[in-house]
Amino acid sequence: MKNKYFIIILLFPAFLYGQTPNNIDSSIIKGNLYKQTTIPLNTKAGITVDPAFPHAPIVEKRKRSSSIDGFEVDKEGYFFFLSGNQSTLSIFNKNKKVFSENYNDLNFSKIHIYQNKIYALDNKFINGTYSTENSLYILNKSTGRIEHIYKNLISNNTQQPVYLDSSLVLEVHEKNKVLPETAFLMYDLKGEFIKQINNPLNFSDKDYKSIYNIRNKLNGLIDFSFLGFWKDYRVYVHRDYSEALIESTQFTLTDNLGNIVKTYRIDSKILGNYFYGPENDFEIIRNGSIFILRRDEKVENAIITELPLNEIFK
């Protein structure tokens, strides 16, 4: 499941007090608890963004850094980005670009890898009207070539899709309603409608509610998100501004009953700044690690941080 990038890492909250940032950083690097990859933005060797991007003032760069729509990591650890005004798929082996492919008239959202194919839903508006295209594109993972297009799954305005391995879920709103009723519609990866479901994760109402009841037990409810499952546990990310010394990003592990097992705290400043953009999955669980996509302060580089789950939740 596709479950929404450097780091001062705190092994235990008590470790923070009385330590300088340099001391903390040295101990973390020695512990080898994370990996980071830096990739330039908008260069021939980097991730394609808006062509005018490099020459824009820094304030405009920050506003327009939503040019990255899709982020994925495959089983071999390659990074995939869908970015730019006219959508360019770029693939990297660490920070080395393997290849890129342009799609001149497409407006993709998130991307999803399943069985060596890349899936992307183009939900751009049709002629500026309420209706959206909602066409599902299947790309060859090795070449980027478009292999198939399943057009016009539904005409309603939709949110960006939630991918559940071999299916996708669209959140739609009924037209002509003062308070639109939300519906979640499940499709297979050939664009065939399967059924209407109760929530975007296709869980039972009880399980879905239990996932979000964890909010009440966590410190800091900013940027709260359920990332997915690891072994028999659930993994969450949330921000905490309650500490005087540090603004931390926290990753919390719970059991299926909602009991907190462990929490791992990371300096948000080391992770980097967010890319602007709606509903993108820039914190994902892949290959036994959490991958986090962020950018530097000057909006010149993307930064991917890898946190091995076995290490941070020892």
pLDDT for 243-296, tens place per residue?
Answer: 444 578 889 999 988 899 999 988 888 898 887 655 568 999 999 999 999 988
**For strand 248-254 and strand 260-267, is the pairing parallel, antiparallel, or unpaired?**
antiparallel
Q: Give pLDDT, residue 15.
A: 27
Q: For residues 270 and 20, what is the distance between their CA atoms, to the nearest angstrom? A: 15
Alpha-carbon distances, residue 274 vs 130, 145, 265, 302 (angstroms): 29, 30, 17, 10
Residue 12, number of CB atoms within 10 A of its CB: 9
Identify the residue with better confidence: 145 or 173: 145
**Which phi and psi angles does 36 have, rounded to 5°?**
-135, 145
| pLDDT tens-digit series, residues 203-230 | 999 989 888 788 777 765 677 889 999 9
Residue 78, number of CB atoms within 10 A of its CB: 15
pLDDT band, residue 53 (cuts 50/70/90): low
Identify the residue with better confidence: 160 or 67: 160
Average pLDDT estimate for 112-122: 94
Output b/e per residue, 211-227; b: 16+ Cβ within 10 A. beebeeebbbeeebebb
Assess whether pLDDT exceeds 70 at residue 130: no
Tokens of 94: 């660490």
Mean pLDDT of the chain: 80
Predicted structure pTM score: 0.83
Q: Give pLDDT, residue 118.
A: 97
Q: Which CATH class is domain 9-312?
A: mainly beta
**What order do you get walking across the sheet with 79-83 strand by strand?**
68-73, 79-83, 88-93, 96-102
Check residue 159 and report its DSSP letter: P
Assess whether pLDDT exceeds 60 at residue 166: yes
pLDDT band, residue 56 (cuts 50/70/90): low
